Structure formats: C-alpha cells, structure tokens
Amino acid sequence: MATIRTNRQPMDMERAHIPQGEVHVIPERCKECGFCVGYCPEQVLAFSQEINAKGYHYPVLAEHKEDACVHCGFCNLICPELAIFTVEIARQGGSGSAGSQE
Amino acid sequence: MTATSAVIARDHPNDPLLRSDRFPHILCPGCGIGTVIHCYVEAMAASGVPLDNHVCVSGIGCSGRAAGYVNVDSYHTAHGRAIPFALGIAIHKPELRVTVISGDGDLTAIGGNHFIHAARRNMNLTVVCINNFNYGMTGGQAGPTSPRGSITSTAPKGVHDRPFNLPDLARAAGASFVARWTILHVRQLRDAILRGLQKPGFSFIEALSPCPTNFGRANDLGDGMAEMEVYRQRCRIVQELPGFDELDIDFVDEERPIAVGNFVDIDRHPYQPVGADAFDNVPNGTQRVHHPVGEE
C-alpha cells in the first residue's frame, strides 16, 4: 500500500496523536498463514529467515520498519493462532507524532 | 539478514480467555476458525458479562473445535445438536449468555431444523456460523452452502444445487439480529458478535472463512491468503438486507460481489417458556434424582 501523498494537512494534525506500537510475536504458535504480514496497514511485518519448531517462517519486523507500527491491533485480531500482538509504547523520535502520549 | 526480530513473547494477552495449553491448535494454516474464536473471546471480554456466565456450545466439525479452546464452560455436542443443547441451557439458566459456534454443515444441514425453529421462537442465543462452503474435516464434501459450480470431493464436476442463503434463511425464520462478515472484517465481526451477546433473542452471525486445504485447493482459490484476497476485492458492505439473489455467494462469476454487513437488527420479544416459574413447583415425586457417576 503506497503512502498517501497530499499537499494539504488535516486541521487537527497538531493535536493528533499517532500511537507507536511494539510488536510481540510468539514464534512457536505461528503457522505462516501470512494474514498479519499481508494485511498490516503499515507493512511493518515480513517473514523470518529462520523457521520455528514446526518449520514455519514467523513474522519479524521488515527492513527500516522498526518504528513504523501504529498499534492498530489488526494483526492481533486477525491472527488465527493468537501468535502476535502489539503493545503501545512512548513514541521515539519526531516522525509522525505531534501530540503528547497522554 | 535484513529484518529485525520482533519482541519474542511467551504468552498472549488473551490467553486467560483461552485454553492456551492446547495451542497451537489443530486447524490448518490459513483457516479462519482461529480468527473467529479470537473475535469471540474479545467480544466476550467486552460484553461486560462475567466469564462465569458465558457458555460456548459447538457441534461436530472443524468449527466444533471452538468449544475446546475457549476457557469458559463449553460443550462439544453431537452432530447438528449444538442448538438444542444450547436451548436447554438457555431455558433453564436464563442468566447465562449461551453462544453456539459451529460450522455451516453442522448448523444448517444436520441441524437445519433446530436452527430454523430456534430462530422462529427467538431463543436467547447467539449463533456464530463459520461458513467455509464444504465439510472440511471429513475431506471436502459438498455441503448445503457450497456455491453452485464449485468443485468438491463429492461433486467433481461442480455442485448443481442452489446453496443455502443463510442470512436470508435466518431473517425469514425470525431472527432478531442477522449479520454476515468475513474473517477479513475482524473488527466488524467482533462488534457483531458483541451485539449478538448483548441483544436479547436470536442473533445469527455468519462468518465466511477460507478453507485452503479442501475448498480452496479444489477450486483453485489458492492458499488462505488468496481466498482472503477474494473477500477483500469482492465484498461490498450493505446496511439493509439485500434481496435474495444479491445475498448469494458465487465463486465462479468473479464479477459478482459478496454482500456483507449487519443486515437485520430488530426488537422482537424473546422466547419465554410458558410458566417460566413452573420449574420451581414441580412435585417432589417427578424431580430428577441426581446419580453421581460411578456409583451404583
């Protein structure tokens, strides 16, 4: 999914708070269905090079996407194995966020 | 290696709602039943009803495994008899929120009569029907929801029969809440199950799910991701219950949209047994005597 490019900014951009998430994975549960990797709206995830005990490639963070998770929780809810979830953390760096954590 | 590892966890935040010692579950990669179970436990936690008051009943089939994975009182009943079993619980213990999670074959073929009569009486039940268009557990035989023209192991030249139109069937039989979502619409599916749990009367939620091992492979739909892509491209959200033909699912005609949405949400008087307090006044002689198992 390409990033939306626009010259205009939303009026509440200054107040908007874009959360940052931290992806947690339980590799041994994963069966490599690909739902989380395929439907992450920020394309944060990729398949691992390693395999788990059952021989599946579990999700890892994609290249240059280490801070890109916005804690939307879609991967958590769509995972049939309950093998992935996100936790909200304080945003590091300035990109994307204009509001405070509270 | 260019990718960085995510934080490795041992437990999921929803593990207390599930029998997580049984995970990973037996369902195939790409199957959507796990997602429906996940949406159900999230709705259960959000419903405000204490976990002790939730009951999950399921029948036979892949979807019947759902009752074995949720950490509430759950029952895995005989084939097609999930609804009558749940009715018994719902009538005798009205304070419990009884949910039936089962498959399309179990609920509408083997248990078809139970389904329409529970909807007719508007019983206090939430029925989640996981529709994967075939009998997945037994090898992909044609079921009552197999779309016309689809290839199954018992219809190698394509299914001739018209499939059941489950939302229309539930509405015609008198259900108070009727929804259809796919497992790609996870938030809507969770909210629909939550609505069903909170609403008195018969709630029916159809969850379209990929079955890559049997239905997807036989029909060249590809793996679970490919079948999800079909849903993503062809699903159209509608607010009102569309016409009978519009609700039909057709995998052969690729132009045909799949209607999803919360179709019916009406208030009808839920079922009340005649003389509901009559159970308290049963003469002693006719009361059931409890026989502990193993004692003669």
The tens digit of pLDDT for each residue in B123-181 reads 999 999 999 999 999 999 999 999 988 999 999 999 998 899 999 999 999 999 999 99
* Among B37, B99, B100, B101, CA closest to B69: B37
**Average pLDDT for residues A12-33, to the nearest whole number?**
90
Q: Would the pLDDT of B192 be above 60?
A: yes
Q: How far apart are CA A69 and CA B109, in angstroms?
A: 44
Quote ipTM for the complex. Answer: 0.82
Among residues 2-41 of chain B, which lie with CB inside 8 Å of chain A?
Answer: 2-15, 18, 20, 23-25, 27-35, 37-39
Mutate to test the interface with B, among A57, A78, A85 (most CBs of B within 10 A): A78
Q: Please give the CATH topology (third level) of the domain spanning A20-89.
A: Alpha-Beta Plaits (3.30.70)
Residues of chain A with pLDDT > 90, as a percent, come to 62
Dump pLDDT digits (tens) for B114-137: 999 999 999 999 999 999 999 999
Which bin fits B65, alpha (ψ -120 to 50), beta or left (φ > 0)? alpha
What is the Cα–Cα distance from A86 to A88, expressed in whole angstroms?
Answer: 7
**B59, B102 Cβ separation under 8 angstroms:** yes
Could you tell me which CATH class the domain B33-269 is placed in?
alpha beta
CB contact under 8 A, A77 and B29: no
pLDDT at residue B246, as a whole number: 80
Q: What mean pLDDT is reported for chain B?
A: 88
- Rounded to a whole number, what is the distance in Å from the CA of B166 to chain A's nearest CA? 23
Query: Distance between CA B103 and CA B151 in Å, rounded?
Result: 19
Residue with structure tokens 């079909």? B230
DSSP collapsed to 3 states, B162-214: CCCCHHHHHHHHCCCEEEEEECCCHHHHHHHHHHHHHCCCEEEEEEECCCHHH
Share of chain B above pLDDT 70, in %: 92
Domain boundaries, chain A: 20-89
Nearest to B37 by CA among B183, B180, B138, B232: B183
Condensed to tens digits (0 to 9), the pLDDT of residues A57-86 reads 999 999 888 889 999 999 999 999 999 999
Q: What pLDDT was estimated at residue B290?
A: 45
> Alpha carbon B263 to chain centroid distance?
16
Planar angle of CA B237, B239, B242, nearest 5 degrees: 85
The band of B296, judged by pLDDT with boundaries at 50, 70 and 90, is very low
Helix (H) / strand (E) containing B43: helix B33-46
What is the Rg, in whole angstroms, of the alpha carbon atoms belonging to chain B? 20
Closest CA to A68 of A89, A83, A50: A89
Q: Report the share of chain B in percent with pLDDT over 90.
A: 69
pLDDT at B245: 78
User: Are β-strands B141-142 and B177-182 bridged in parallel, bridged antiparallel, or unpaired?
Assistant: unpaired
Q: Between residues 149 and 208 of chain B, which touch chain A (CB distance below 8 Å)?
A: 183-184, 186-187, 190
CA angle B61, B81, B296 (to 5 degrees): 105
A15/chain B closest Cα distance in angstroms? 26
* Residue B277 pLDDT > 70: no
A13 to chain B nearest CA, in Å?
25
The domain spans of chain B are 33-269
